[in-house]
Structure 1
Amino acid sequence: MLRVFARGGSEVACEAPTALWYDLESPTDAEEADVEETLGIDVPTPAERAAFEESARYYEEGDALHLTATLLGRRDDGPFVSGAVTFILAQGKLVTVRQVRPRAFEIGQGRASARLESAQTGADVLLALIEGAAERLADLLAEATRDANTLSAQVFSEAESPDLRTALRELGKISALASLAHDSLTSLQRLLVYARASKGKYDLKDQRLSALARDVGELERIAEAMQPRLSYLQDAMLGLINAAQTNVLKALSLATIAFVPPTLIASIFGMNFDAMTWFRHDWGPWVGFALMIAAPAVLFGIAKWRRWF
């Protein structure tokens, strides 16, 4: 899908002279060709956008600056996914190529929308989108931190016994989101370093770039600090699950001590050998009952003495 926006956020035709931002979302070959013909640029292929080496993500081609970042978004209102988003600055205009749907790209929604509407150049649009993406990542990290704190309070609470399996699934979702956010912030940090090196040629404002670099760097440190905390919480939950399983095994062991010896004695008394004449005496059943009670009692005493439970 191709959407073209002019100053103020109004949508225009691809060939309009007032066009400022060309947004290609999961574009077709025809849509890519229209943008390439209009601006005289080369739109990178999906394989080129997915590359991780810096030479494929940050480069100049002719009079166009290509910058690629990994941003969080959604596909068809599903869970968060990360995907490559390429920004191309050429002739004072911006082209974005993406497969995901970051919140910052939604005109009329979110805090980035006001900055997009006041943008005068493609460089302004680029900075507004990156600012919106950084703000969205900050919100997601704050939400993940709150969820992790709530989950930690539930897991370590003495007043209630949470469902540890459900809690472990929730922790997995939080950890996955935090990891995706960290990867996105790392890519944004690398993008900003290259953008600052090319700021003069493409009218990128140094003050906004510096502020963005500081904000993204701080968010990256927060995301890094979350990783060991989430790992500790995961280890603690797995330890609690193992402790619960150990308690189950203890209960099964106690049941074994209680029922196996009487079952063995009853089996012996059920034998019909002629040599076992004392089983036929009147006092024989009472001896059997006494042994059935004494055997588990002795085993319980030994287990208690050895502190097996």
Structure 2
Amino acid sequence: MLRSFHVEAGRLRIDEGDSLSLLQQAAWIDLLAPTPEEDHAVEHAMALSVPTREEMSEVESSSNLYRESGASYITVRLVSRPRDQQPKLAAVTMIVTARQFVTLRYADPTAFKLFCARVDKSPKVIEHPRDAVLTFLETVVDRVADILEEIGNGLDVLAGELFAQDATSTKVAVEKDLAAMLRQIGRSGDLAGRARESLLSLTRAAGFLSGEENGDTPHQDRNEVLRLKTLQRDIKSLLEHDAYLLSQIQFLLDSNLGMISIQQNAIIKILSVAAVIFLPPTLVGSLYGMNFEHMPELKWHLGYPMAIVMMVLSAVLPYWYFRRRGWL
């Protein structure tokens, strides 16, 4: 899909079409899973090349951050969470020229939707291409911060359930659904890892914009320099927070595995105690089940009640002893 955004008298106008005049006059061109014809139309209108999907997926910085034909190419990775699917990273390439801002993507992450809403509310942010890039990166950083906050809140709930003060009895430990907790911890770890990858790509993009990675410093006004520095500080703080969350996830993972071991041991203990309790009655029953001729109790009229009493006592006494020692 190809959309062009125009700012006229402070108002935003969106057109869908690949006519040469529309593309050349647009302040922002958005390509979402474009067809080869749409790619060609943008290349013809702007006199530059549009990266392929394979080129966008490359991980080396030289393929993600470079200047060509007077345009800057910046590829970042955003966390995308399609409904009922695992989170994944979606590459978004920004092409910045002196007059226009172009975005190329093959997914529709939430951060991009938030940026579109921001543009719709304040169209002037795309009047200057570098302002548009900075606004987009700031929106992505805000979205990653929301994701990390969501992860942190979820981990707090998991920790509360895992280390509940009343979860000291064997019954509670056995009944707790630790497998479901393990899956939740795994999902949190996966999401935190992808958020970290996104933040690292943003770090490289911010450094590229400030001219730190290619050794030159492009002309920037004071406001842009301040925004870049603030952006870099925010990214650094989020990386530190993400590292803390990953360490907390590892701690909860180890604790959960320890609880699973305790749970299994509790089950084995119950089975072992049950075996010990029923072993003496089984022994008594086996003794009097033998078919020897000379057994005095066989012809005694109180022999059967005596055997029943012996089996009950041999089961009750171990149970009472285990309860007294606190093993049950």
TM-score, normalised via structure 2 length: 0.80
Which residue of structure 1 lines up, in the alignment, with residue 262 of structure 2?
A: 243
The partner residue of 1:37 within 16, 38, 44 is: 44
Please tell me whether residue 292 in structure 1 is matched to residue 306 in structure 2. no
Map of 1:73-88 to 2, 5 A cutoff?
Answer: 73-75=80-82, 78=85, 80-88=87-95
| Cα displacement (A) at 1:110 | 4.8
Could you tell me the TM-score, scaled by structure 1's length? 0.85
Q: Distance in 1 between matches of 2:187 and 2:114?
A: 28
Runs of at least 5 residues in structure 1 that lack an aligned partner in the other structure:
none
Partner residue in 1 for 2:218 = 200
Q: Deviations over 1:139-160 (max 9, x none)?
A: 1112221222232223222246
Alpha carbons of 1:42 and 1:278: their partners in 2 closer, same or farther (altered >3 Å)? farther
Q: Which amino acid aligns with 1:2?
A: L
Which moved further from structure 2: 93-102 or 77-86?
Answer: 77-86
Q: Does residue 262 of the first structure (1) align with residue 281 of the second (2)?
A: yes
CA contact (8 A) 2:114 2:139 kept: no
**Using the alignment, how far apart are the partners of 2:304 and 2:140 within structure 1?**
82
In 2: Cα distance, 1:265 partner to 1:297 partner: 14
Aligned runs of 1:49-128 on 2, under 5 Å? 49-75=56-82, 78=85, 80-106=87-113, 110-111=117-118, 113-114=120-121, 117-128=124-135
Q: Secondary structure of 2:66's partner? A: strand
Question: How many Å apart are 1:135 and its aligned residue?
Answer: 0.7
2:140 alignment counterpart: 133
- Of residues 220, 231, 253, the one that matches 1:212 is 231
Cα distance between partner residues in 1 of 2:289 and 2:79: 72
Whole-angstrom distance in 1 between the partners of 2:115 and 2:324? 73
Q: CA RMSD in A?
A: 3.1
Provide the residue aligned with 1:277 in structure 2. 295
Corresponding residue for 1:189? 203
Unaligned runs of 5+ in 2: none
Q: Deviations over 1:153-207 (max 9, x none)?
A: 2322224666433333333332222222111111100111122116627999322
1:301–1:103 Cα change, 3 Å = closer
Distance 2:316 2:237 in 1: 64
Query: Residue 111 and residue 199 in structure 1: after superposition, are their counterparts in 2 closer, same or farther (change >3 A)?
Result: farther
Tell me, yes or no, if the aligned pair for 2:119 and 2:126 is still in contact at 8 Å: no
Aligned residues: 308
What secondary structure, in the 3-state scheme, does the structure 2 residue paired with 1:205 have? helix
**How much does 1:256 deviate?**
0.8
Higher mean C-alpha deviation, range 234-243 or range 223-232: 234-243
Distance 1:72 1:129, change over 3 A: same
Mapped pair 1:4 → 2:4 = yes
Which range is displaced more, 244-253 or 259-268?
259-268
Q: Which residue of 1 aligns with 2:26?
A: 19
Distance verdict in 2 for CA 1:77–1:117, change over 3 Å: farther
1:105 Cα offset (Å) = 2.4
> 1:84 Cα deviation (Å)?
1.3
